[in-house]
Structure 1
Amino acid sequence: MQKIHLLLKITLIGWLLGPAINAQAEDASSADPAAQKYVKPQPQVSRINALKASLEGVQLEHQIQVLDAEGGPFLSLYKKSQTRSTQGCAILLHSDNEHPDWPEAIAPLRDKLTEYSWCTLSIEVPDVTKRGQAIKTPSTAPASESTEEKTVSLANQAIVFARIEAAIELAKADGVNEFALIGYRTGASYALAFSAQNKLAVQALALIDIQTPADTSSYQIAQLIRETPQPILDYYLSQPSRNQQFAQWRQQAGRQREKPQGQYIQKDAIPDRVTGQDSQALLVQRVRGFLKQNTKQISQRRPLPQVNKGLF
């Protein structure tokens, strides 16, 4: 019986003090801003930090260059030529929601071109499509419309252009004066737009599987080729799910250039893929051959190793 009375007293005390305790807890949480602060996800920051950690883990932190453009820092990966002399520098632009060492195309080009007298500078491109959002299909316009007279402005265009210019200045400070611009997917759209507006900045342009960012007209992007005099390699995947009209518009625009300083070459990557060979090695071979034929590079032959006969 005493235990029952004791249990009843404890229950009664808890019932009486409960509201006061809850009120104190609410006051404490409202007084602590950290308890109510919502941490907004930053996928690009996390992606770049993971890339830096990965490079540092394999002792490649010397390739990391943090540059500044449009009032903010950005990551670039600078790899110098592995030959005796540097004949030029390739500026690489990755696709949306990727990073400057993305394995599909950027990483093999960034790594292998340095074996052929090129330095490489791969720069961080701001995300356009936020993770968790639906990916919008780029708008198209028939050739009969007057959209070809409009100026194309891509999302984050000013930032990306400023970063390209900062990368070029870094390479120039290292004694490089010949430049090629290589873009992958949406990065290729930025590369094309930059080349169209800055005709003397780069000597060659390579578009790898070009795609248009969300809310951008594929037709308008294709028309930029008409304004780009540099030699252009358009290496793309002609998959049935892709917009074949976009490829046709680009090819047509390539024929309409008024004062070209080099060829417009459109190459379908699908035949390369079905040979059973390494598609990345073929990509490097295509880009390297294009650059060798369309820039002012001297001999690309690798020097034979010197042998000390006294050791034999």
Structure 2
Amino acid sequence: MPRSLRPYVAALSLLLCGAVQAADEPAPAKEGDAPAAVVERAPLAERSVDDATALAKRVPEKEQQKLTAGDEEFLALWKLANVGDAYGVIILIPGDGETADWPLAMAPLREKLPDAGWNTLSLSLPDPQGDEPPLRPIEEVAPAAGEEKKADAPAEPAPATTPENAAVPADTTPPPSGISDEQRSTHSTRVSARIGAAIAFAQEKKAKAIVLLGHGSGGYWAARYLADNKPKQVSNLILVAAEKPVGFSPVLEDLVPELKLATGDFYYGDQPLDRDAAKLRKEASKRQKHPAYIQVAMASLPGDRGTEQEQLYRRVKGWLSQHLQSGAAQPDQPTPVEAPEPPPPPEPTSPGI
């Protein structure tokens, strides 16, 4: 480009930039103009609602039940027992971040317990009303086919133990829940209403026995409902790796022993936090002289979830057959038959003369 034209090109570029910037800037408001209306966005749906929508597309329609709790409708998964006369209904309550068909505890028990003679009703719980949705429980993801770990990849060196980091103990304090007292109260009311709706549904089905089974924080909500409402229709509680949601009270060791009903407390003995929490509940049950509190230790198998879930099913099935409190006949146990009265002993004869 000739040097004589360069000043003109630079001036033209500045003019074009100024025109574009002026077009992007909003026009100044004239005196007397009405203020621009604020567009309000609709609140996002709860993650549990999205999960229920996904389940409705995947689960057979005959297994879906729409229940009403208060002024809201929620999805529950209903599966009939594979026998002519079911023993009752087991209401499955998932933990935070889990769905009614969660692959740990919920789906395996929902699918297998009907083979043991039980109807199952798996609930969907609302999201805790905190600042953020609950974290999903960690699931192991199997490596893709043909994908192998490189043997020559250098392993990450372990952090050096120095006086600075060796003297500081591990921080086991749970993070703040981010939930206000009002939000906690609202969430408790919503969960309680859903469990109550499930019990009412089981009564409509003429269930001989109603069992509440909670996994994770679902165990806390099951125990909390029984303590607050004391329903006469429920006399059996099963806890699976139970834990208290952050920010709620009372703790489980204060809650469970006071229930005084048949309780099966299943925990993973090789998980330190789970084991320590179960120990507190057991000690509290001894102090309260709980008449029917049974703990069952299990082994976690992260590398073989199928075997782990089969173990859980068999342990729950065994507890139901031995410790169920109900007027109905217990599964896997024959009806006792009265033995005939033994014949009277022969009368002694006098010795011959």
**TM-score, length-scaled by structure 2:** 0.66
Q: Unpaired segments of 5 or more residues in structure 1?
A: 140-152, 303-312
From 20, 26, 42, the counterpart of 1:18: 20
User: Which segment drifts farther, 275-284 or 104-113?
Assistant: 275-284
**Corresponding residue of 1:184:** 215
Which runs of structure 2 are paired with 1:162-181 in the superposition (5 Å)? 162-181=193-212
Q: Look up the SS of the partner of 1:195 in the other structure.
A: helix
TM superposition shift of 1:292: 2.2
TM superposition shift of 1:158: 1.7
CA contact (8 A) 1:179 1:203 kept: yes
Does 2:49 match 1:48?
A: no
TM superposition shift of 1:264: 0.8
Q: Unpaired segments of 5 or more residues in structure 2?
A: 30-34, 136-171, 177-183, 334-353
Does 2:312 match 1:264?
A: no
* Change in 2 beyond 3 A, CA 1:18/1:215: same
Instruction: Give CA-to-partner distance per residue, 1:18-56, whole Å, 9 cap, x none.
Output: 3442135999xx97967x95975743333222222222x
- Take 1:109 and 1:90, find their aligned partners in 2: how far apart are those partners? 10
- Take 1:276 and 1:105, find their aligned partners in 2: how far apart are those partners? 10
Instruction: Give CA-to-partner distance per residue, 1:52-83, whole Å, 9 cap, x none.
Output: 2222xxxx122111211132121111111221
* Change in 2 beyond 3 A, CA 1:259/1:214: closer
User: Which segment drifts farther, 105-114 or 293-302?
Assistant: 293-302
**Corresponding residue of 1:81:** 81
Q: Look up the SS of the partner of 1:287 in the other structure.
A: helix
From 226, 230, 236, the counterpart of 2:267: 236
CA contact (8 A) 2:89 2:211 kept: yes
User: Which segment drifts farther, 64-73 or 91-100?
Assistant: 64-73
- Take 2:68 and 2:111, find their aligned partners in 1: how far apart are those partners? 24
CA contact (8 A) 2:264 2:294 kept: yes
* Change in 2 beyond 3 A, CA 1:187/1:23: same
Q: Look up the SS of the partner of 2:25 in the other structure.
A: helix
**Corresponding residue of 2:151:** none
CA contact (8 A) 1:138 1:216 kept: no
Does 2:313 match 1:284?
A: yes
**Corresponding residue of 2:236:** 204
* Change in 2 beyond 3 A, CA 1:160/1:137: same
From 186, 191, 196, the counterpart of 1:160: 191
Q: Percent identity?
A: 26
Q: Look up the SS of the partner of 2:273 in the other structure.
A: coil
What RMSD in Å do the two structures reach over aligned CA positions? Answer: 3.9
TM superposition shift of 1:108: 0.9
The structure having more radius of gyration, on CA atoms, is 2
- Take 2:57 and 2:41, find their aligned partners in 1: how far apart are those partners? 28
* Change in 2 beyond 3 A, CA 1:254/1:199: farther
- Take 2:222 and 2:54, find their aligned partners in 1: how far apart are those partners? 25
- Take 2:300 and 2:9, find their aligned partners in 1: how far apart are those partners? 82
- Take 2:301 and 2:41, find their aligned partners in 1: how far apart are those partners? 52
CA contact (8 A) 2:127 2:133 kept: no
